[in-house]
Amino acid sequence: MKRLRIAERPGWRSYAESIGFNFHTFDGEPYWDESAYYQFSLPQIEQDLEGPTEELHQMALSLVPEIIGNEQLLQQLEVPAAYWDLLAASWQSQQPHLYGRLDLAYDGTGPAKLLELNYDTPTSLYESGFFQWVWLEDQIKRGQLPAHADQFNSLQDQLEYRFSRLQLRQPLYLSCVAESTEDLGTVQYLQDIAIQAGLDARLLPLDQVGVINGQLVDQHNFPLHSWFKLYPWEFMVREEFGQHLLTTDTTYLEPAWKMLLSNKGILPLLWQKYPNHPNLLPAFFADKFTQPTAGWVRKPLFSREGANIELVDSQGNYLAEPGPYDDCGKILQQFHALPRFADSYTLIGSWVVGDSAAGIGIREDNSLITKDSSRFLPHIILD
């Protein structure tokens, strides 16, 4: 695993904007960064990332039936009791799931370590599945990369195949908070893929979802029989709107049972069931007032993008990020430093579509806590 400098493609920003990649830069700071790339060997991809990703995915799935049948665990994960039956029904009726992302610490040697699961509303999808593949093809054409360079990236093809197999009632609505450029880019990308898969896929701003006689409806009062929502389950079940989820016959992407796997509490449960697994870090439920000590990280159950994470590294240095998740439970996870390349810390997002590993996306941050201000860099496979 290497980080290598490379010349940027001329005019890539204009091209990005012409095809709808409008979040390549945030507040004047780069999000998409092609001044460098990461190079992996094929064994590193297949043995250290692809294989463990699918194994970790199956390990996580194995916990779902154990949790839905255990009131103590549901309470520990802070799932509101009113939604326990909905959650159980979504699993027992085998409601389909689409995709997820595992965040891994990996430096090219030794087993990758699972830091968390993003199984409900993962983003960085468009840049992983499409834009970094275009970058690879362009750089090969320009002679900047060898013709036999490859990429661990079947994400778009697997998403299209997955959509074609889901047997959803149509149309499929896709929603997000319309003011979020990144979220909108993600759902537009998924809409395009769903259409390629033969579905009638329609964008619906989240604030235009209505309710009539207990049924979710669109702005024309047409029922939402199938709905992809890039909006967290843990938010919905705590809002007044959430009560309507108990009466509608909508099929959700992602299904309700995914709220268990996007919860940081899944990390101590994985460690309890699979202690000393080479891809896991020790993790435990913590009291809300328990402070991390040297070599530990404290994470809220519902934290996203590094918010409210606190860590104390092995030397006793304290680092924390602010955020809105102070009012939920916490876990402690053993500190495992992200590898440092150049002046940045590197995190690998490993994608799962259905139950198959589908590729990786790489983000860099100037901090050990990867935030929403991180940068995305492309990668290649080259032996």
How far is residue 190 from each of residues 14, 129, 182, 194, 199, measured CA to CA in Å?
22, 11, 13, 6, 11
**What averages of pLDDT result for each successive group of 10 residues across the chain (383 residues)?**
97 94 89 97 98 98 97 97 96 95 96 97 94 98 98 98 95 94 94 98 96 95 96 93 92 96 98 98 90 95 92 95 90 97 96 98 95 93 96
Q: Residue 42 half-sphere exposure, CB side, CA atoms within 13 Å? A: 5
> Where are the chain's structural domains?
2-263+349-381, 282-334
Are β-strands 379-381 and 36-40 bridged in parallel, bridged antiparallel, or unpaired?
parallel
**CA angle (52 as vertex; 50, 58 as ends), nearest 5:** 110
**CA angle (4 as vertex; 136, 349 as ends), nearest 5:** 65
DSSP assignment of 131-186 equals IHHHHHHHHHHTTSS-TT-B-SB-HHHHHHHHHHHS---SSEEEE--TT-HHHHHH
Q: Which two tokens stand for residue 139?
A: 């750089």
How far is residue 66 from each of residues 300, 315, 376, measured CA to CA in Å?
22, 38, 36
Question: What pLDDT is recorded for position 334?
Answer: 98
Taking the whole predicted model, whether its pTM rises above 0.85 is answered as yes
Q: What sign has the CA pseudo-torsion 323, 23, 119, 41?
A: negative
| Contact status, residue 338 vs residue 353, Cβ threshold 8 Å | no
Closest Cα to residue 114, out of 41, 43, 39, 57? Answer: 57
> What is the identity of the amino acid at 23?
F
The residues near 249 (Cβ < 8 Å, ≥ 6 apart) are: 215, 223, 225
| Contact status, residue 128 vs residue 361, Cβ threshold 8 Å | yes
What per-residue string of b and e applies to 155-189 under the rule 16 or more CB within 10 Å gives b? bbebbbebbeebebeebbbbbbeeebebbbbbbbb
Compute, in degrees rounded to 10, the torsion defined by CA atoms 130, 136, 138, 140.
-160
User: What is the Cα–Cα distance from 333 to 286, expressed in whole angstroms?
Assistant: 10
User: What is the Cα–Cα distance from 224 to 244, expressed in whole angstroms?
Assistant: 12
272 backbone φψ class: left, alpha, beta (φ>0; ψ -120 to 50): alpha
pLDDT in tens, 37-83: 999 999 999 999 999 999 999 999 999 999 999 999 999 999 999 99
Q: Which two tokens stand for residue 88?
A: 């159980």
pLDDT in tens, 189-237: 999 999 999 999 999 999 999 999 999 999 999 999 999 999 999 999 9
Token pair 């924390």 in the structure block, residue: 320
Question: What pLDDT is recorded for position 372?
Answer: 83
Residue 372: phi and psi, rounded to 5, are: -75, -5
Q: Let me know if 21 is exposed, middle or buried by CB neighbors in 10 A (0-12, 13-18, 19+).
A: buried
The residues near 279 (Cβ < 8 Å, ≥ 6 apart) are: 52, 55, 56, 111, 112, 113, 114
